[in-house]
């Protein structure tokens, strides 16, 4: 857990979200699913002018109307209340009534004409012998309004099939222009600037577009749990407010820098400018972007003016980058740690050491005999597994603990900032790609074992964030490691299948099968990890028929 004293910005308590429900009314067409949307009033208090799905806050009366609704056996009281709210809102805003008579007949135009949109719906339906068809309404997703907004809602996104024979009519107070639109069409019109939508609507339509029929959507929602839950976070990209879900690569960095969701952090890769992540963590990205390095190698400074600094991964021998690290630390670098010896991580160590008036020790593990010539590295002092490197001053201490994590390289180390529960993962865990495991210095079994070691460390040190050598900060550390291991094992299964299908094949034959989801231009690089998989598979006898 990050110490609150290390946050860059004073934390503000986000507004409390109000329970709400919205409903996606769907219909099948020869061209695919269509969803009913309306335009919000330009003077609406929330999302003015946006195209939305009908919905609103959940009223106390919704939870008191259970006796006037039908329900599935698996539908909890909470889900029933949400469905009733969605049915009520669709009627009040669009005059669409999801209800049926006791004999199973659906509500028709005469029923709708007899009801007043401005009076309690459930009681009116009961007077006409109608029951709200809550069993026809399913939970799709759960959205919580971004933490930085003054008005927030805890919204259940529900789905239902549009009742046959009904025509939506907007209330013309807050909702206008009811429109049937295919998800892909709505997204295209939004991109063209003619169909404004807010972030949750956009992301919901992106996922809805993958379904081929209304029934497929309803079947996917049969488990009574949301297909996804999200409370987005916002950061600046090219000066514009940009939103991200939990599965998006920048989400973890926004959560680290601004836990309360304030819109304060710039996500652009600003090579040449130090980027503070916490008061005691600064990232300086080297100007070496590429296929293997992503936006560039991340160097980190750990510490503050009172304690001095530890530099992690000075990067390539690039003079301007090395000087930027030195200047960001005001020259007060007490130690330099290289996570491993690869050419984009360790060559800058000696030049950075030479800049310091009091040269710090260079720490790490020496390159193994299996390392390539360009990756030779000899530290001033080796760091054994579990060794600590600390800086302290003015009653504050920052401790990095080494974890030996071979796999990507035989001498690879990860580092835990003990006081704040942060993991500096070097190249073992990256954001946006999987690391190359390149024999003989790389070893796939070691790599997988090291992932397990990092999972244990997350529990031991309360690690929530991973700061990689390439890419933004990752959140949900344990989950990220588990997903990475699952991906590796899935790839291994594809390699085994390729080896079994082509028992006399070559590496060139197997790569096209095992990496058929990777562009062919990347296969020469993929073959390095393929070899590591093959060596592991053969050593364990996993490909035997």
Q: Is the residue at 149 inside a domain?
A: yes
Cα three-residue angle 429-433-434, rounded to 5 degrees: 55
The string of pLDDT tens digits covering residues 291-343 is 889 999 999 999 999 999 999 999 999 999 999 999 999 999 999 999 999 99
The mean per-residue pLDDT over the stretch 85-90 comes to: 95
The domain boundary residue, chosen from 210, 231, 252: 231
Task: Say whether both 287 and 384 belong to one domain.
Answer: yes
Q: What is the pTM of this model?
A: 0.92
Is the model's pLDDT at 545 over the cut of 80? no
pLDDT-derived band of residue 188, with 50, 70 and 90 as boundaries? very high
Task: Say whether both 75 and 183 belong to one domain.
Answer: yes
Q: Is the residue at 482 inside a domain?
A: no
Neighbours of 176 (CB within 10 A): 16
User: Which stretches of 239-337 are assigned E, i.e. beta strand?
Assistant: 240-244, 275-278, 281-285, 298-304, 308-312, 333-337
Task: Say whether both 320 and 391 belong to one domain.
Answer: yes
pLDDT confidence of residue 401: 98
* Residue recorded with tokens 């973890």: 252
The range of the structural domain enclosing residue 456 comes to: 269-475
Residue 65: which CATH number? 3.90.79.10
Is the model's pLDDT at 128 over the cut of 60? yes
The mean per-residue pLDDT over the stretch 279-299 comes to: 95
Domain count for the chain: 3
The string of pLDDT tens digits covering residues 6-25 is 999 999 999 999 999 999 99
pLDDT-derived band of residue 171, with 50, 70 and 90 as boundaries? confident
Identify the H or E element spanning 145: none
Task: Say whether both 375 and 452 belong to one domain.
Answer: yes
Q: Is the residue at 145 inside a domain?
A: yes
pLDDT-derived band of residue 274, with 50, 70 and 90 as boundaries? very high
pLDDT confidence of residue 486: 96
Q: Is the residue at 263 inside a domain?
A: no
The mean per-residue pLDDT over the stretch 232-240 comes to: 95
Q: Are 309 and 281 in contact (CB under 8 A)?
A: no
The mean per-residue pLDDT over the stretch 352-366 comes to: 97
Q: Is the residue at 9 inside a domain?
A: no
Burial of 260 per CB tally in 10 Å (0-12, 13-18, 19+): middle
Task: Say whether both 467 and 497 belong to one domain.
Answer: no
Of the candidates 295, 325, 300, 544, the residue with the CA atom closest to the CA atom of residue 425 = 300
Task: Say whether both 206 and 331 belong to one domain.
Answer: no
Residue 399: which CATH number? 3.60.15.10
Task: Say whether both 502 and 468 belong to one domain.
Answer: no
Is the model's pLDDT at 183 over the cut of 90? yes
Of the candidates 379, 402, 376, the residue with the CA atom closest to the CA atom of residue 389 = 402
Q: Is the residue at 7 inside a domain?
A: no
Q: Which two tokens stand for residue 58?
A: 């959940």
Cα three-residue angle 493-497-502, rounded to 5 degrees: 150
The mean per-residue pLDDT over the stretch 150-160 comes to: 95
Task: Say whether both 456 and 523 belong to one domain.
Answer: no
- How far is it, in rounded angstroms, from Cα 178 to Cα 171? 10
Q: Is the residue at 245 inside a domain?
A: no
Phi, psi of 297 (to 5 degrees): -80, 130
- How far is it, in rounded angstroms, from Cα 326 to Cα 182? 55
Task: Say whether both 296 and 344 belong to one domain.
Answer: yes
Task: Say whether both 277 and 222 belong to one domain.
Answer: no
Task: Say whether both 211 and 108 belong to one domain.
Answer: yes
Identify the H or E element spanning 481: helix 477-501
Q: Is the residue at 177 inside a domain?
A: yes
Task: Say whether both 497 and 469 belong to one domain.
Answer: no
pLDDT confidence of residue 291: 87
Neighbours of 144 (CB within 10 A): 16
- Considering only residues 245 and 172, tell me which one the structure prediction assigns the higher pLDDT: 245
């Amino acid at each position: 857990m990050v110490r609150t004293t290390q946050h860059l910005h004073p934390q503000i308590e986000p507004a409390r979200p109000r329970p709400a429900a919205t409903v996606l009314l769907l219909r099948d067409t020869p061209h695919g699913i269509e969803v009913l949307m309306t335009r919000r009033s330009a003077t609406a208090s929330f999302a003015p002018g946006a195209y939305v799905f009908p919905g609103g806050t959940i009223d106390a009366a919704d939870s008191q109307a259970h006796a006037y609704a039908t329900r599935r056996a698996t539908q909890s009281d909470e889900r029933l209340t949400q469905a009733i709210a969605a049915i009520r809102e669709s009627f009040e805003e669009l005059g669409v009534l999801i209800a049926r008579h006791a004999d199973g007949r659906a509500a028709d135009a005469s029923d709708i004409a007899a009801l007043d949109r401005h009076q309690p719906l459930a009681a009116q339906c009961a007077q006409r012998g109608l029951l709200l068809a809550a069993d026809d309404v399913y939970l799709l997703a759960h959205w919580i309004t971004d933490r930085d907004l003054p008005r927030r809602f805890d919204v259940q996104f529900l789905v239902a099939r549009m009742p046959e024979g009904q025509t939506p009519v907007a209330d013309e107070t807050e909702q206008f222009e009811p429109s049937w639109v295919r998800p892909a069409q709505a997204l295209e019109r939004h991109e063209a600037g003619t169909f404004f939508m807010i972030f949750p609507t956009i992301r919901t339509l992106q996922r809805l577009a993958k379904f081929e029929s209304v029934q497929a959507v309803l079947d996917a929602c049969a488990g009574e749990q949301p297909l996804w839950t999200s409370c987005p976070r916002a950061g600046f990209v090219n000066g514009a407010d940009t939103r991200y879900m939990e599965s998006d690569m920048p989400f973890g960095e926004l959560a680290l820098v601004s836990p309360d969701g304030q819109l304060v952090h710039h996500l652009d890769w600003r090579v040449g400018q130090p980027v503070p992540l916490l008061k005691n963590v600064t990232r300086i990205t080297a100007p070496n972007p590429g296929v293997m390095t992503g936006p560039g190698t991340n160097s980190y400074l750990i510490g503050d003016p009172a304690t001095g600094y530890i530099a992690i991964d000075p990067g390539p021998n690039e003079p301007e980058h090395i000087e930027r690290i030195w200047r960001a630390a005001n020259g007060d670098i007490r130690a330099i740690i290289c996570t491993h010896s690869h050419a984009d991580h360790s060559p800058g160590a000696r030049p950075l050491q030479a800049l310091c008036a009091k040269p710090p020790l260079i720490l790490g593990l020496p390159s193994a005999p299996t390392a390539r010539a360009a990756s030779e590295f000899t530290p001033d002092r080796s760091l054994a597994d579990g060794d600590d490197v600390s800086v302290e001053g003015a009653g504050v201490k920052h401790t990095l603990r080494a974890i030996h994590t071979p796999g990507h390289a035989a001498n690879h180390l990860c580092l835990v900032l003990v006081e704040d529960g942060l993991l500096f993962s070097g190249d073992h865990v990256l954001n946006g790609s999987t690391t190359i495991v390149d024999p003989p210095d790389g070893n796939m079994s070691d790599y997988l074992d090291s992932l397990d070691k990092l999972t244990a460390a997350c529990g031991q040190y309360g690690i929530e964030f991973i700061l990689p050598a390439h890419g933004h900060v990752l959140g949900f550390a344990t989950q990220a490691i588990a997903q990475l291991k699952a991906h590796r094992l899935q790839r291994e299964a594809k390699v085994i299948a390729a080896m079994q299908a082509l028992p006399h094949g070559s590496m060139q034959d197997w790569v096209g099968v095992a990496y058929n989801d990777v562009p062919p231009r990347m296969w020469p690089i993929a073959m390095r990890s393929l070899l590591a998989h093959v060596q592991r598979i053969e050593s364990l006898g996993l490909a035997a028929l």
